[in-house]
Amino acid sequence: MVQHVSWRWLFYVMSIFAASLVILFALFLPETHAQTLLSRKAAQLRKTTEKPFYAEKDVSSMTIAARLKITTLRPAIMLCTQPVIQLAAFLMGYQFGLLYIVHATFANMWIERYGQSHTASGLHYFAIVTGSMAALLIEWWAMDAIWARLKARNAGVSRPENRVPLMIPGTLLLPAGLLLYGWAAEKHVHWAVVDVGKTIISNATDEEADVIARCRNAWVRVHLEHNCCAILHRGGIPGLYSVRSRGISASSQCLRLRFPNFRTKPV
């Protein structure tokens, strides 16, 4: 787009698309917050029966300031005291940094190594969309199936760890995708092979990120360390690809740590 029109139109299109999504969500996305739904139901019952029906949210004496204090301090406390959360935050930051490295050099690779135009290089981003959409569709089905099976095996008791098994495919696919993407580009293989590697990377990272995000909702959010690690990692993008080949860089990125499960002490 920038090749044919002003760069401003890139931000115009993104803003229009984001605004359209907000409007659609506001009009058609149903409310799913349990306390809000109970509060609405209690209000409807009070109106129809004239009896004092109240939800827990309605009778709670906790002020908004107190709620904000808890939601602000709890993540900081758990991040400073729980090693597993520190490890999860570091690994998510490292993974986020990998995405920045690949995305920041994606278009230039097609232009410089494959001699494609700016317009043609932009079409390869459909590989990223394909991988992300595939991860979303697979995660929807697999997460519910795995959760239900592990819950039934645990006498009907659900745990945040029930989501962790879905990380295994992403853990295996991410190094495979990085190796395929990096070495295919290094050896100047057909562009379709490189796109397949990028599709696998997007699928694996989105799948893992969604699982960790769901687990974080159960115990803590670790966005601060996540983003700080990603920023530090992103600083090495130019040097990484100017000193090393893409294949060697992709191979070095595959040497990553993993954690077995998410067990934390209650706060």
For 61, the enclosing helix (H) or strand (E) is none
Q: Is the pLDDT of residue 83 over 80?
A: yes
Lowest mean pLDDT among 14-23, 203-212, 253-262: 253-262
pLDDT tens digits for 49-72? 888 888 877 777 677 788 788 888
**Neighbour count for residue 65 (Cβ, 10 Å):** 8
**Structural domain that includes position 2:** 1-60
| Structural domain includes residue 70 | no
Secondary structure class of 178 (helix, strand, coil): helix
pLDDT tens digits for 136-174? 888 778 888 888 888 888 888 888 778 778 778 877 888
What are the start-end ranges of the H helices in 187-236? 191-219, 223-234
Total residues belonging to the chain: 267
Q: Rounded distance, CA 240 to CA 251, Å? A: 12
Secondary structure class of 81 (helix, strand, coil): helix
pTM > 0.75: yes or no: no
Residues 179 and 91 in one domain: yes
Instruction: Tell me which of 164 and 25 has the higher pLDDT.
Output: 25
| Structural domain includes residue 65 | no
Residues 161 and 50 in one domain: no
| Structural domain includes residue 148 | yes
CATH number at residue 129: 1.20.1250
Q: Rounded distance, CA 195 to CA 102, Å? A: 12
Domain count for the chain? 2
> By 3-state DSSP, what share of the chain in percent is helix, strand and coil, each rounded to 5?
75, 0, 25
Residues 118 and 249 in one domain: yes
**Neighbour count for residue 234 (Cβ, 10 Å):** 16
Residues 33 and 155 in one domain: no
Confidence band, pLDDT 50/70/90 cuts, at residue 218: very low
Both structure tokens of 82: 């729980």
Residues 151 and 45 in one domain: no
The rounded mean pLDDT for the chain is 77
The residue type at 62: M
Across the range 249-267, mean pLDDT stands at 48
Residues 150 and 39 in one domain: no
Select from 253, 251, 214, 256 the least CA-distant residue to 236.
253
Q: Rounded distance, CA 185 to CA 104, Å? A: 15
- Kindly tell me the burial class for residue 102, based on how many C-beta atoms sit within 10 Å of its own C-beta (0-12, 13-18, 19 or more): buried
